[in-house]
């Protein structure tokens, strides 16, 4: 039996996935909009922030526990929603959910998962680790309402409403590949074949050689949405509702005015509008606009414990990892995701110790300094 490779950074999981995944899945997971400038900036922007360490602080014991939406978790490193995880590993979303429970952290399930809301919940019985459901608002409002109700009935404790996708961004790799789900997989949260399948029919009907997924979004997701629809989701849900996809102070204020319970600063992994700002570059702007009225989270570009530390210093309550989870899942399923989370949590623990912070509340704006930002 071949020995498992020895990984020392999250980049190692990515390199392994590049050699292992088929082109259809790999390009779907790694691709961004257009020239992928924002994809690269999401990571590079962290390099323009330096840590200001404090010394002689007695850092023999480090506590990384926090709460998200009132629920305790072991650390501020959580799992972002990523679609179609069974393309990466046969156990897909269930393996990721079990890993989140083992690490006692929050997981957001994509509504475009290849495992149903109920089956993911059943894979982790009697768990106290929070699960949230990521939601798109479909043109079919009853289908959208049923997703919310099913999540609530299955023990999910929040809805993360994606607000940056009236249409799908132009993802060149998916267009070239005419992306479609493998025939043995479906979007498992839908019984209606029009909503469950992303395949040849979608790609064939797409204008301008778009991918099957772009055609799917155009046919199913409602582009007329406005802030009143956020309030509609709030009226349906009995659990907290967050919005995912905020990048400006203006929209952050409108989100709070609409009554949301939290904001996820996100540019959809650089997959919607290219040259949108890196999420870490706008985090502080959003936090200032919110002024503590709701919790603010961040996803996009987090690859190191130092990245997590910087996001917390700039006001984030927690960060969410997307692609690193997929790379780890493709490597070794549930155990791969646990190994990846262990690695970045230990990096955060070490960063906190070397910066003189013994718990998360010790991390402050004074611990970081922004360098001059180059033009995109």
Q: Do the strands 77-79 and 318-321 form a parallel or antiparallel pair, or are they unpaired?
A: parallel
* CA dihedral sign of residues 258, 260, 264, 266: negative
How many Å separate Cα 282 from the centre of its chain?
17
The two structure tokens encoding residue 210: 């778009």
The label of the residue with tokens 């180059």 reads 374
Strand partners, 133: 109, 159
The two structure tokens encoding residue 159: 């809805």
Q: 271, 270, 295: which is closest to 283 by C-alpha?
A: 295
323's CB contacts (< 8 A; 6+ apart) are 14, 29, 30, 82, 269
Strand partners, 131: 107
Q: Do the strands 368-370 and 49-51 form a parallel or antiparallel pair, or are they unpaired?
A: antiparallel
The two structure tokens encoding residue 63: 């506590």
Strand partners, 369: 50
Helices (H) and strands (E) in the chain, counts: 15, 12
Q: Give the C-alpha separation, 64 to 317, whole Å.
A: 12
Q: 284, 239, 282: which is closest to 262 by C-alpha?
A: 239
224's CB contacts (< 8 A; 6+ apart) are none
Give the residue numbers annotated as catalytic, written as ranges.
268
């Amino acid at each position: 039996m071949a020995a498992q490779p020895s990984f020392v950074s999250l980049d190692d999981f990515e390199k392994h996935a590049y050699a292992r995944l088929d082109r259809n899945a790999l390009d779907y997971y790694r691709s961004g909009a257009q020239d992928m400038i924002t994809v690269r900036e999401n990571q590079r922007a962290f390099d323009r922030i330096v840590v200001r360490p404090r010394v002689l602080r007695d850092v023999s014991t480090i506590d990384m526990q926090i709460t998200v939406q009132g629920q305790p978790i072991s650390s501020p490193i959580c799992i972002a929603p990523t679609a179609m995880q069974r393309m990466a590993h046969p156990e897909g979303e269930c393996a990721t959910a079990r890993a989140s429970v083992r690490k006692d952290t929050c997981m957001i399930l994509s509504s475009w998962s290849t495992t149903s809301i109920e089956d993911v919940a059943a894979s982790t019985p009697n768990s106290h680790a929070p699960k949230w459901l990521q939601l798109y608002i479909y043109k079919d409002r009853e289908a959208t309402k049923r997703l919310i109700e099913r999540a609530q009935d299955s023990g999910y404790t929040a809805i993360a409403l994606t607000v940056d996708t009236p249409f799908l961004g132009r993802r060149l790799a998916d267009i070239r590949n005419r992306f479609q789900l493998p025939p043995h997989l479906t979007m498992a949260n839908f019984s209606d074949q029009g909503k469950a399948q992303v395949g040849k029919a979608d790609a064939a009907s797409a204008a301008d050689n778009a991918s099957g997924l772009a055609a799917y979004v155009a046919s199913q997701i409602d582009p007329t949405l406005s802030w009143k629809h956020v309030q509609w989701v709030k009226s349906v849900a009995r659990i907290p509702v967050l919005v995912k996809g905020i990048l400006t102070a203006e929209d952050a204020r409108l989100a709070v005015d609409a009554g949301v319970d939290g904001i996820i600063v996100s540019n959809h992994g650089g997959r919607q509008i290219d040259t949108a700002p890196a999420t870490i570059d706008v985090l502080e702007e959003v936090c200032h606009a919110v002024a503590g009225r709701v919790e603010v989270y961040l996803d996009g570009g987090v690859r190191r414990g130092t990245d997590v530390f910087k996001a917390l210093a700039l006001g984030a309550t927690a960060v969410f990892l997307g692609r690193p989870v997929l790379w780890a899942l493709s490597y070794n399923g549930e155990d791969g995701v646990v190994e990846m989370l262990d690695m970045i949590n230990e990096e955060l623990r070490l960063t906190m110790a070397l910066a003189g912070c013994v718990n998360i509340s010790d991390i402050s704006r004074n611990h970081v300094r922004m360098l001059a930002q180059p033009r995109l």
